[in-house]
């Protein structure tokens, strides 16, 4: 398993380099102009000077290599300097990936927005898994029962209805129709400046997280519960289940120890690969509830043609997808002893 993990990590490096080049090439060929949002009264020669100050007068391969140096070398060295105080090279004058719009380092902008996204997205994924796995297990064990029918109906709704519609619907119900003095009233705008210092502020934080977390959690639970149910049904009809029951094992032991472990193997892939996707899905949800997270940051970068910001964020999403593919493969071997990576 260790050798397999090391081989996959070595193969990941050229894969990520190729992905970064493709992303850079697509963004470079896109008809984006960072001076497009400037007033029309600015003369063309001034616009050209602005483009030159951003490095757009250099060839594409030069700008790509410069971005690679800044992202893969300078940014990690800067993190070592900030976290551990290790100064390697020119710590003060080191070139970093800089946003064209704010002239701030892109990694610093991402670090500022990351906690909000992790609060909303991370909690929604945990809630989705905690809801989906029990529903999938019970629906499969009690196939065609009223619980199975209700779970199937709710899952189809959660999977087919887009998150922007669900978010707006919850805002209308709990923020518009519900009276402000009601216990069930929920804020429609996420206050990113709120600091949790006491129980009252903690309650406010929980209340403002309920709607965005439930929107994403419903979508995640709908997908995972369907996979969980199908995998459980496939394993419940296997010979080893009949053998375990014939040996006199308790039904709880057969279901939760033998069947659930084997059924989790395909579900692990869905859960692992869904983590990067949920960051992409949070773009819409963050816009609806005004969560000042990575999704909103990406939208701002696209609207302002901020290529370094969009390039870095998109590449980080690609890194998450590649890494969680590896995590899924490793978990395969841990859950199923028959799987060996030699």
Q: Residue 55 domain-assigned?
A: no
Mention every residue, 6+ apart, whose C-beta is less than 8 A from residue 300. 101, 306, 309
Q: Residue 305 domain-assigned?
A: yes
Q: Residue 258 domain-assigned?
A: yes
pLDDT of 232 reads 92
Give the CATH number of the domain where residue 131 resides.
1.10.3720.10
* Integer Cα distance of 124 and 114 in angstroms: 15
* Integer Cα distance of 13 and 33 in angstroms: 31
Q: Residue 245 domain-assigned?
A: yes
Q: Residue 282 domain-assigned?
A: yes
pLDDT of 13 reads 84
How many distinct helices (H) and strands (E) make up the chain?
Answer: 14, 0
Q: For every one of its 342 residues, what pLDDT tens digit does the chain have, with 9 covering 90 and above?
A: 677 777 777 888 888 889 999 988 888 887 776 776 677 777 888 888 877 877 777 888 888 888 888 888 877 777 766 666 667 666 666 778 888 888 888 888 888 888 888 888 888 889 999 999 999 999 999 888 999 999 899 888 888 888 889 889 999 999 888 888 888 888 888 888 788 888 888 888 888 889 999 998 888 899 899 999 999 999 888 888 889 888 888 888 888 888 888 888 888 888 888 887 766 657 888 888 888 888 888 888 888 888 888 889 889 888 888 888 888 877 777 776 666 555
Do 308 and 98 form a contact (C-beta atoms < 8 A)?
Answer: yes
**How many domains does one find in the chain?**
1
Query: What is the extent of the structural domain holding 128?
Result: 111-335
* Integer Cα distance of 122 and 249 in angstroms: 37
CB atoms within 10 A of CB 32: 14
Q: What is the pTM of this model?
A: 0.79
Q: Residue 35 domain-assigned?
A: no
* Integer Cα distance of 154 and 222 in angstroms: 7
Do 268 and 331 form a contact (C-beta atoms < 8 A)?
Answer: yes
Look at residues 69, 42, 41, 43 and name the one whose alpha carbon lies nearest to residue 55: 69
Do 159 and 248 form a contact (C-beta atoms < 8 A)?
Answer: no
Q: Residue 250 domain-assigned?
A: yes
Q: Residue 21 domain-assigned?
A: no
């Amino acid at each position: 398993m260790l050798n397999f993990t090391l081989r996959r990590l070595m193969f990941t490096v050229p894969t990520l380099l190729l992905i970064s080049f493709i992303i850079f090439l697509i963004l470079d060929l896109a008809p984006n102009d960072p001076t497009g949002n400037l007033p029309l009264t600015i003369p063309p020669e001034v616009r050209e000077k602005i483009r030159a100050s951003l490095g757009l007068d250099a060839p594409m391969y030069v700008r790509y290599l410069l971005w690679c140096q800044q992202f893969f070398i300078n940014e990690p060295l800067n993190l070592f300097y900030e976290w551990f105080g290790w100064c390697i090279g020119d710590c003060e004058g080191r070139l970093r990936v800089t946003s064209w719009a704010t002239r701030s380092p892109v990694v610093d902008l991402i670090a500022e927005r990351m906690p909000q996204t992790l609060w909303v997205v991370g909690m929604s994924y945990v809630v989705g898994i905690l809801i989906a796995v029990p529903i999938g297990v019970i629906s499969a064990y009690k196939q065609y029962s009223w619980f199975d029918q209700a779970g199937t109906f709710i899952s189809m709704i959660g999977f087919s209805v887009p998150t922007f519609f669900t978010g707006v619907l919850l805002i209308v119900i709990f923020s518009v129709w519900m009276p402000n003095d009601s216990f069930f009233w929920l804020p429609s705008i996420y206050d990113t400046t709120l600091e949790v210092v006491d129980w009252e502020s903690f309650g406010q934080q929980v209340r403002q997280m309920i709607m965005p977390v439930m929107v994403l959690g419903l979508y995640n639970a709908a997908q995972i519960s369907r996979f969980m149910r199908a995998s459980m049904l496939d394993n419940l009809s296997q010979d080893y289940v009949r053998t375990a029951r014939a040996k006199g094992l308790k039904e709880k032991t057969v279901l939760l120890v033998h069947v659930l472990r084997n059924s989790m193997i395909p579900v692990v892939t869905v859960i692992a690969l869904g983590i990067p996707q949920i960051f992409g899905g949070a773009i819409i949800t963050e816009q609806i509830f005004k969560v000042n997270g990575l999704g909103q940051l990406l939208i701002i970068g696209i609207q302002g043609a901020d290529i370094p910001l969009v390039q870095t964020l998109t590449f980080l999403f690609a890194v998450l997808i590649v890494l969680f593919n590896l995590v899924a493969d490793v978990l395969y071997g841990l859950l199923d002893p028959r799987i060996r990576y030699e």
